Homo-oligomer: A and B are copies of this chain.
Amino acid sequence: MNFKVRAARKEDCKDISRMIMELAVYEKMPEQVKISNEELERDGFSPNPFFQCLIAEVSDENMTTDGYTVVGYALYFYTYSTWEGRSVFMEDLYVMPDFRGKGIGKGLLAKVAQVGVEKQCVRLQFSVLEWNKPSLDFYIAKGAVDLTAKEGWHNLRFYGQALDQLAKEAPNN
């Protein structure tokens, strides 16, 4: 199946929102999705955007029964390692179920890698749920290293009240 990978435009946000929810359902945490279409448009498509996004598009003849031709996306941004320098972090990689196994996920992933390498990034990082064996297998087959398994890194987070409380306790000098 032919598909095209291209940079997302503001008007793709509706498709991206739809697929963000599909991915969250797949990851069994749809109740955690609070983002609005307007926030995505503002944060990704204004000067100094918080993220970049690629989408995968198929031709009209392969349109879904619901009328979609945008069937996958990869959302990423730049981060920094104090050990090695510039990194690219892929927050999401998703392909709609009917379009899997056709090289689309691989194409999106490879494009993020290419964009990162062009920007002198030495790492492409991302997070995967440990029970999500198909995704882990997909990435590890391509040479990814599981740093939580290998070195013991855990992801921690402050949010809600704990984050507000911390912020209030910042020194004022």
A residues with CB within 8 A of B: 3-6, 20, 23-24, 29, 32-35, 39-40, 43-44, 48, 50-51, 75, 77-86, 89, 91-92, 106-107, 109-111, 113-114, 116-118, 122-131, 136, 139-140, 142-149, 151-159, 161-171, 173
Contacts and interface: CB of A to CB of B under 8 A. Distances in A.
A8 to B, nearest CB: 12
A5 B85 CA distance: 24
Majority SS at the chain A contact face:
mixed
Contact of A153 (B106, B116, B129, B158): B129
Counting from the closest, the 9 A-B pairs by CB-CB distance are A143-B162, A114-B170, A113-B166, A148-B154, A130-B152, A110-B170, A113-B167, A117-B167, A51-B80
Given A43-B85, A83-B24, A129 B158 contact: no
Q: How many copies does the complex hold?
A: 2
A129 B156 CA distance: 10
Contact of A154 (B33, B75, B146, B168): B146
Given A20-B83, A123-B163, A156 B173 contact: no
A163 B82 contact: no
Residue among A32, A81, A149 facing the most chain B CB atoms (10 A cut-off): A81
A110 B163 contact: no
Contacts of A149: 154
Nearest to A86: B50
20 contacts: A4-B173, A32-B84, A43-B85, A43-B86, A50-B79, A77-B78, A80-B91, A81-B91, A110-B168, A114-B168, A122-B163, A123-B157, A124-B163, A125-B157, A130-B153, A142-B162, A143-B158, A147-B154, A147-B157, A155-B155
